[in-house]
Amino acid sequence: MDFSQHNRIHFSEKLKNETFDLLVIGGGITGCGIALDAALRGMKVALIEKHDFGWGTSSRSTKLIHGGLRYLKQLELKLVHDVGRERAVVYHNAMHVVIPEKMLLPIVHNGSLGKQTSSFGLWIYDMLAGVKNSERRKMLSKHETQMAEPLLDEKKLLGGGLYYEYRTDDARLVIELAKTAFRHGATLLNYCELKSFNKNEQGKIESVVATDHISKSSFEIKAKYIVNACGPWVDLLRKEDESLKGKRLQLTKGVHIVFPFEKLPLQQAAYFDVADGRMIFAIPRNGITYVGTTDTVYNQDIDKPIATKSDVAYLLKAINEMFPTIKLTQADVVSSWAGLRPLIYEDGKSASELSRKDEIIISNSGLISIAGGKLTGYRLMAKKIVDLVAKNIGKVEGRTFGNCSTKRQCLTGGNFSTPEEAARYLSELQNEANEVGFNKDEVETLFHKYGSESKQILLKAKFYFEGKTASDPMLLAELDYCIQNENIFTAADFFIRRTGSIFFNRVQTHFELEPISQKLTNEWNLNEAELQSMLNEIESEYAQAVSFN
């Protein structure tokens, strides 16, 4: 059976009729990671997500699989050790969507780190993360740093360090996890929101009430264990459970802004100092360069974090100081996104000082909440939760489950054993695409989204190409694939979380909003009002990405 809205009734019937070992609330990286781990160990697992998979923080990050160099300054050695080591694991399991990226750390006059401290810091970073010899940091002279990135300010520059990180597409990593969990037996439903808990006389949760936002109906789901993996919404669920005491979340907002590559033509991804002691990334990719992030305490609407004028001004100032010849203004910003970090509150600490460690909180009702953490460390977070649930089920029912096997579990699309095998597949794809005139960049972008599933999309694109459609043939082929295999429902699901086009390909997206919305409306048999509502959503997201108050 396909992971498609066409099978929605089947998924919701399963949710209504079965009793699950584990029900996960929240379809971000944390929840989907847990669903996969549990399914692989033979648990009967379900997951519900109130919006689309990856709709929360997990589509609004810096899109790096990184160890967190700056956490060294805060002496979070265990965090850097654990998350740093996970980079290679995440890469191995999803080579299409996780791409090695050399990062430049410029060393500047009056910066927070000198030559010696940078060299030592990067060395420790590599050691803690167990980086192999060939990928260890390389310190650069002033001249070498300028050659690596000519836009750096010659007057301020003292030298630099090059070290290894990985770049990803966060929302696509989430969907690959969801698809893999589905293929291993998990039942996952998006647009399905947890509304309340049903408890027995001892106050223990026995089932939950969820609302399906598509069929507009509510139903009960029974599960032995319930995990609250709701990211920034974790405390709202704890409140619903009447267990919001002790540890609480402190949300902080992070904003990224996007420039056309010509406006910020960096040769090299960079991580650099800002006057207030923070550090910022500037990352060139596919015809754009994005810059971020901010880190400010957030107490407003969790469903709608937005980039404000002052967020943009902060990032512009940082970038213009580091690369003084480019003189960017707000008018150069072509897109943006804002996300919320679900961090654990610590008395007296500023937003940037709060730890990125994850924490598990278990309430008297049995609700298991998990918050904090990083995209990069999702697998370890999932392992902790599933170990706990397996142990508890074992104690109560005497059932045993296999050990965690996600360390060597390729995700859908990442079906390659070595980087060479992945490169071979890409080169074959390119040869096939050349025959019908798709260019190299288009094919590479396709591969980095769908990996080993790309050939079937290319075949469909050829079909559309030969039929001379008004829309982009590749986009139509991707749409078909996402309808059939990636559970999309709206145009926003497609343009934001499956293709990222709203951030990275604004011009094309603009022309395709209407035809794609129309196609989806036909696919789901929606009426005129529903089409209008789909269009309103995507048009408002499109406008929001460049309007700052």
SS3 419: helix
* Residue 293 engages ligand FAD in binding (rule: CB under 6 A): yes
* Residue 56 engages ligand FAD in binding (rule: CB under 6 A): yes
With contacts defined by CB under 6 A, name the span among 318-326, 374-382, 400-408, 440-448 that binds ligand FAD. 374-382
Among 375, 474, 476, 538, binds ligand FAD (CB under 6 A): 375
* Residue 164 engages ligand FAD in binding (rule: CB under 6 A): no
Closest CA to 33 of 139, 223, 130, 170: 170
Cis? peptide before 293, omega within 30° of 0 = yes
Could you tell me whether strands 19-25 and 217-228 are parallel, antiparallel, or unpaired per DSSP bridges? parallel
Among 5, 8, 22, 31, binds ligand FAD (CB under 6 A): 31
The dihedral formed by the CA atoms of 118, 124, 127 and 128, expressed in degrees to the nearest 10: -130
Cβ proximity to ligand FAD: between 193 and 432 the closer is 193
Q: Are 531 and 516 in contact (CB under 8 A)?
A: no
What is the smallest separation between the CB atom of 137 and ligand FAD, expressed in angstroms?
19
Cβ proximity to ligand FAD: between 27 and 161 the closer is 27
From residue 218 to residue 247, the character string flagging contacts with ligand FAD as x (rule: CB under 6 A) and all else as - is -----------xxxxx--------------
Instruction: Give CA–CA dist 541/337, Å, rounded.
Output: 10
Cβ proximity to ligand FAD: between 340 and 477 the closer is 340
Q: Which residue(s) pair with 99 in the sheet?
A: 167
From residue 189 to residue 218, the character string flagging contacts with ligand FAD as x (rule: CB under 6 A) and all else as - is ----xx------------------------
The tokens describing 42, both together, are 């033979």
* Residue 48 engages ligand FAD in binding (rule: CB under 6 A): yes
CA end-to-end distance (rounded Å), the chain: 46
What is the smallest separation between the CB atom of 193 and ligand FAD, expressed in angstroms?
4
The tokens describing 100, both together, are 């090695």
Cβ proximity to ligand FAD: between 385 and 482 the closer is 385
Cβ proximity to ligand FAD: between 81 and 115 the closer is 81
Rg, the chain, Cα only: 23
* Residue 541 engages ligand FAD in binding (rule: CB under 6 A): no
Burial of 286 (0-12, 13-18, 19+ CB in 10 A): middle
User: Among residue numbers 260 through 289, which ones bind ligand FAD (CB under 6 A)?
Assistant: none
With contacts defined by CB under 6 A, name the span among 99-107, 371-379, 406-414, 510-518 that binds ligand FAD. 371-379
With contacts defined by CB under 6 A, name the span among 25-33, 131-139, 502-510, 518-526 that binds ligand FAD. 25-33
With contacts defined by CB under 6 A, name the span among 19-27, 109-117, 146-154, 258-266 that binds ligand FAD. 19-27
* Residue 58 engages ligand FAD in binding (rule: CB under 6 A): yes
Q: Are 101 and 167 in contact (CB under 8 A)?
A: yes
Name every residue whose Cβ is closer than 8 Å to that of residue 463 and which is 6 or more positions away in sequence.
473, 477
Q: How many Cβ atoms from other residues are within 10 Å of residue 402's Cβ?
A: 10
User: Among residue numbers 299 through 358, which ones bind ligand FAD (CB under 6 A)?
Assistant: 339-342
What is the smallest separation between the CB atom of 83 and ligand FAD, expressed in angstroms?
7
Instruction: Give CA–CA dist 409/40, Å, rounded.
Output: 9
Instruction: Give CA–CA dist 80/86, Å, rounded.
Output: 10
Provide the binding-site residues for ligand FAD, judged by CB under 6 A: 25-31, 48-51, 55-58, 60-64, 66, 193-194, 229-233, 254, 293, 339-342, 373-376
